[in-house]
Amino acid sequence: MSQVRVRFAPSPTGALHIGGIRTALYNYLIARQMSGTFILRIEDTDQGRFVPGAEEYIIESLRWAGILPDEGPGFGGEYGPYRQSERKDIYRQHALQMIESGAAYYAFDTPQALEQAREQAKAQGNHAFKYDALSRQQLSNSLTLGEEETRRRLDAGEPYVIRLKVNPGQDICVQDAVRGKVMFCSDELDDKILLKSDGMPTYHLANVVDDHLMRITHVVRGEEWLPSTAHHVLLYRALGWEDDMPAFAHLPLILKPDGKGKLSKRDGLRLGIPVFPIAWHGSTPEESFKGFREFGFLPQAMLNFLAFLGWNPGSEQEIFSLEELIAAFSLEQVSKSGARFDFDKARWFNQQYLHAADGASLAEWVRPIIVEHGFQPEQAQLTAFCELMKERVALLPEFWEKGAYFFTGVQTYDQPNVQKRWNATLKEGLQQLTTHLEMYWAEDATALKAAAEQFMQQHSLKPGEVFPLLRIALAGTMQGPDVFKMMQVLGCANSLARLRNAWEIFDTFASA
């Protein structure tokens, strides 16, 4: 079997949304599984929609996700250039070749003329005007104008496009890896533009020519391409490449979390969820978006989540490393229907990865967040903090949101809960307990707890009344990790200072 070569071919028109990342991922998985090559090709044939920085964004996203291409712009490869705008001549040459063979023709109709034809058709009750075998006879093209007039117009520099000549009456069968056989009839197909009047190819021509020249073996792309695949087959046929046409696989779309239709960047804004892998900085705040990275996702968790949107291994395992995905993935298991984006499920995946990570790795990811808030914790303390907090967070920023008091000290105490429990006798007991802890301080939470419990027993202090107050004294809140583990992370001096400070403040609550 020939070397597997797959490509991810985005168009640099803005931020790449997660549907694109999923497409890239599936292509990457296939390449790795089959010891093949993963190619990045930039489809920048529409200069009207080209957005500066988009290509860099795409590559940066793939880098963060950990699925960089083997070939592509800036990555080397034998089949470049990998930007379609740099391959204009190649497309033109193939378009001309098709004119030569009669598979394509020149057309001189202006956009205005076509618009008029469309409106006319509409007025007559036709919902869609099609440039096809029937209508082309009434329009200005090399088929109706004759060779001489065509020559004359070309020489005069009149703008023209090159169109595919679709002959009616042909059945076109697309063998799709996820959908099976899909049949089309050429009667329904229009004479697609191959080469635009600015000399750039359309997607269809560029795509087919590049896939052939780059020796692509599998075309794995979104479902929105399924209808135009019929045209692509016709193109392979016209160019004499039908025998080694790539295999096709059309992926189900990713749908909005609510309502109808496919996921869009608007949904991100509307629902406060990420739809991009990393932040995109548009020209206005409304056009700028946080990504999965900024929401506090781990790349592997995002990939795992995305992999399961439209695919599953058939087993009950859900947590897959990239290596495991490579081994388990198959196009046959890709589902046919669209998958709704579920942010809760994404969070859950991330939580699983956070729980499984060790303190040192977490510290590396969490440190920037702590630093951002103006603190420079020691490595050992930060590691211990992460280890302690990791079971109560799903997203990275929650380490700060739920554990800021470790760094800032207690900002506000849960006053109602203090008032409910506080009294003079208890104060005395807690003060003595604090002194006892100072004397019998241990770096180990279990030993520390034993020391406290021993004291409490001797002085008839009940855990139910002591622990909540210790907790509030240390953290300000009733929620959080084990009291003695908190002390362990806080350290002796810090812990005792917090306790003693609280015993004084709690008195003022009681009298308030």
Nearest approach, Cβ of residue 266 and RNA (Å) = 13
Number of continuous H segments (helices) and E segments (strands) in the chain: 22, 11
How many other C-beta atoms are found inside a 10 Å radius of the C-beta of residue 414? 18
Interface pattern 91-110 for RNA (x via CB under 7 A): ------------------xx
State yes or no: residue 123 binds RNA (CB under 7 A).
no
Q: Which of 97, 36, 31, 28 is nearest to 63 (CA)?
A: 28
State yes or no: residue 416 binds RNA (CB under 7 A).
no
* DSSP character at residue 178: T
Candidate ranges 63-71, 184-192, 289-297, 495-503; the one touching RNA (CB under 7 A): 184-192
Distance CA 273, CA 265 (A): 10
Judged by CB under 7 A, how many residues of this single chain contact RNA? 83
Measured between its terminal Cα atoms, the distance across the chain in Å is 82
Residue in this structure with the two tokens 């960089």, named with its chain if needed: 68
State yes or no: residue 265 binds RNA (CB under 7 A).
no
Binds RNA by CB under 7 A, chosen from 52, 180, 368, 374: 180
Binds RNA by CB under 7 A, chosen from 82, 106, 203, 506: 203
Interface pattern 272-301 for RNA (x via CB under 7 A): ------------------------------
Exactly one of 265, 345, 427, 449 is catalytic; name it: 265
- Tell me the backbone φ, ψ of residue 171, rounded to 5 degrees: -90, 135
Binds RNA by CB under 7 A, chosen from 43, 71, 210, 387: 43
Nearest approach, Cβ of residue 431 and RNA (Å) = 19
Residue in this structure with the two tokens 């903090």, named with its chain if needed: 385
Distance CA 480, CA 486 (A): 9
Binds RNA by CB under 7 A, chosen from 147, 155, 344, 378: 344
User: Sign of torsion, CA 261 264 267 272?
Assistant: positive
- Applying the rule CB under 7 A, the residues between 429 and 448 that interact with RNA are none
Active site residue 427: no
- Applying the rule CB under 7 A, the residues between 302 and 341 that interact with RNA are 308-310, 312, 314, 316, 318, 333, 335-340
Would you say 11 or 383 has its CB closer to RNA?
Answer: 11
Binds RNA by CB under 7 A, chosen from 237, 421, 449, 500: 449
- Applying the rule CB under 7 A, the residues between 137 and 166 that interact with RNA are 159, 161
- Counting Cα atoms < 13 Å in the Cβ hemisphere of 481 gives 23
State yes or no: residue 36 binds RNA (CB under 7 A).
no
Binds RNA by CB under 7 A, chosen from 228, 361, 381, 435: 228
Distance CA 486, CA 497 (A): 14
Q: Which of 419, 421, 402 is nearest to 480 (CA)?
A: 402
Binds RNA by CB under 7 A, chosen from 152, 266, 355, 373: 355
Residue 463 token pair: 């855990």
State yes or no: residue 397 binds RNA (CB under 7 A).
no
Would you say 446 or 508 has its CB closer to RNA?
Answer: 446
Distance CA 268, CA 288 (A): 11
Q: Where are the alpha helices (DSSP H) in 223-356?
A: 229-238, 265-271, 292-295, 299-307, 322-328, 343-356
State yes or no: residue 489 binds RNA (CB under 7 A).
no
Binds RNA by CB under 7 A, chosen from 79, 375, 413, 467: 467
Nearest approach, Cβ of residue 67 and RNA (Å) = 19
DSSP 415-453: HHHHHHH--HHHHHHHHHHHHHHHHT--SSHHHHHHHHH
> Which residues does the annotation mark as catalytic?
265
